[in-house]
Chains A and B, each alone.
Chain A
Amino acid sequence: MSVGAQDPSVSSFYVNDSFYGDLIARFQDWDHDRNGICDPVERDAFRLLLEREARFLDQHKYDDWLAMLTRECVYWAPARPGGGDPRTEIAVMFDDRRRLEDRVFRLRSEFAWSQAPASRTVRMISNVEVFEYGEKDRRMLRSNFIINEFWDNEIRQLVGWCGYDMQNIDGRWLIRAKQINLINCDRCIRNPSIIL
């Protein structure tokens, strides 16, 4: 479904009460050893997927990156450790499909002064773990990241871990929700204007 009033690139009907409820329930308490997947083939497949995602972002291949997410996706960087409740608390970022496409549109405009010139980034992804959680077409992933960002003649690091809610659609694993947990998410950050 990608036409007319219900196209999530155009209008936001899917971010409703039950969407929030499911999201919060899903990110509450999931990264347990008992859910861990040990199969090296599956783990490697997800590791490669996350490495590809990092490369797309480093290369500013935003269309390729957006295609890695489900149509009804969410990109969420909480403003406090542990995540909090995005229904009653401000997040560093909380984007649905349309707002993500807004974000990309803004970065591509010539007038995003915070990204003119654009940051150069090199992302390191590690500690990838895969968890079985819920239905068999769903997985949760956990990975650590360091984003090395060169901007304004300085290299700085944005550091944290990500939780991913993955869904298999027609044989392809897509990102339904990406939760980015910056370790300094509740402190002042200089120029937080790249896609994490």
Chain B
Amino acid sequence: MSYDWEGLVQEDRVHRALYTDPAIFNAEMTKIFGGTWVYIAHESEIPNVNDYVTRKLGLRPVIVLRDSNNILRVLYNRCTHRGTTLCRHEKGNARAFQCPYHGWNFLNSGKLRGVPWADGYSADIKDEKFNLAQAPRVESYRGFIFATLNLEAPGLLNWLGPMTKPIDEWLDRNPGGKIVVCEANRFKYKGNWKLAYDNSSDGYHVIYSHRSLLEMESRLSDEANKGMAYYKNSPDSLAMYVQYMGNGHHFKDKRPNLQARPGGLWAIESTHPGKEYAEAEFRRKYGERADSLLDLAGSEPVNINIFPNLSLLGNHIQVFQPISVNETDAVWYGTRIEDVNGDIGDALGTINALRMRTQEGFPNFGEVDDLANFEQIQVGLQCEEDEWIYMNRGHGIPDRVKTNADGTITAPATDEVFMREYIKEWKRLMKGPTPLSIKREP
């Protein structure tokens, strides 16, 4: 495939083909969703030895598991005999996977354990070529499991680079720095996967795309400080900002808008089931501790976007799963906390219940409108002759966009600088040679 990548990705705009061309999509599934680190699951989904979940690495069906020796693996969910998927369940616990077609049996290390009537083979079925393929590199950063097929990619820690700081802060506000994934709001939209990644730090769309949500949130009170209301008036003059972090990652930090005090986070939380009960009960029972306990149920106002498919926002772990050039799944995994240090005690149940209800709000009343807009971009892009999509907000204005000493780039909250920068990383990966490999147990 030869494309004029420099022509398709320009300084302030990209060509519609990035979103509509099936050949580009197919190349992305190799070069992006194979050639760079891709988020694949959270360790809390497979806490015990032999636990597994089935996922996709790009379009490749995989089984993400903790094997019998407690090693994290991303096995191709593909029988080495004739190619059928081995495991058809979403999750479970299994020491071995027996193929439903002819019964080949694989250990969860990927090694072939046995086949029916082995004497019918002249080939050595102990040959490693019959062991399951698996991602050659699987690494976890504080519970977030990533995989890549690229042996030349930097180590996960280097690749995350300055992103580890917001990730650490996102985790460390929870007891023991720990969260547990607990079901999800799951969406499908008829649009390219990058439409969601483009949107993930977009502060410009909030007051329009989410107007129904903003009006809903202020229908019972005029309090200007709820939910996303700080986007209503001159958001660029506020302390919040967007930061490009390198390697395609970016970060929207709205925390500087908060009051820096216990309860500051809770103060911006919009209404949800059980809110007033919990506030009254916690103040009665826990006095001064009430505010910091309530903060544990509040949504952290950050968007930590890790290229190409992960976004930590509020308390959610959002994952983008490409299906085809014009279809994507977007899964908003919820998170709950555990009383790791034993200092939450009997408040834990109420905190987690509130935390579920706060997390259901945005997907139900906000995300659905963004998804409708993504779908309609995909429709609009069928206008072949109108070729360009602009990402030029904040471009070319002196002193608006600042490059920091560590190479990160900071700009006002509604700027599209993060799109202009991440798409350069996309272009680098799409242009480059893609040395992908799999491994098999010896």
Contact = CB atoms under 8 A, between A and B. Distances in A.
Given A14-B277, A89-B334, A102-B365, A189 B187 contact: yes
A57 B129 CA distance: 58
Contact of B277 (A15, A89, A114, A190): A15
A114 B273 contact: no
Contacts of B209: 113
Contacts of A186: 90, 183, 186
Contact of B272 (A79, A99, A111): A99
Interface stretch (A5-13, A35-43, A157-165): A5-13
Contacts of A114: 368-369, 371-372
Contacts of A187: 186
Interface in A128-168: 152
B211 A94 contact: no
A94 B357 contact: yes
A12 B271 contact: yes
Contact of B212 (A84, A87, A96, A111): A111
Interface residues of A, number: 46
Contact of A16 (B189, B211, B281, B333): B281
B188 A99 contact: no
Interface string B313-353: 00000000000000001111110100000000000011011
Contact of A189 (B186, B275, B334): B186
A89 B356 contact: yes
Q: Interface residues of B: mostly helix, strand, loop or mixed?
A: helix
Interface residues of B, number: 51
Interface stretch (B11-19, B38-46, B164-172, B213-221): B213-221
Contacts of B281: 16
Contact of B273 (A10, A12, A84, A88): A12
Interface in B173-204: 182-190
A116 B211 CA distance: 13
Interface string B350-375: 10110011011100110011011101
Interface string A77-96: 00110001011111111111
B274 interface: yes
Nearest to B215: A109
6 contacts: A15-B277, A20-B353, A88-B182, A88-B336, A102-B219, A191-B372
Interface of B: 90, 182-190, 209, 211-213, 215-216, 219-220, 271-277, 280-281, 329-334, 336, 349-350, 352-353, 356-357, 359-361, 364-365, 368-369, 371-373, 375
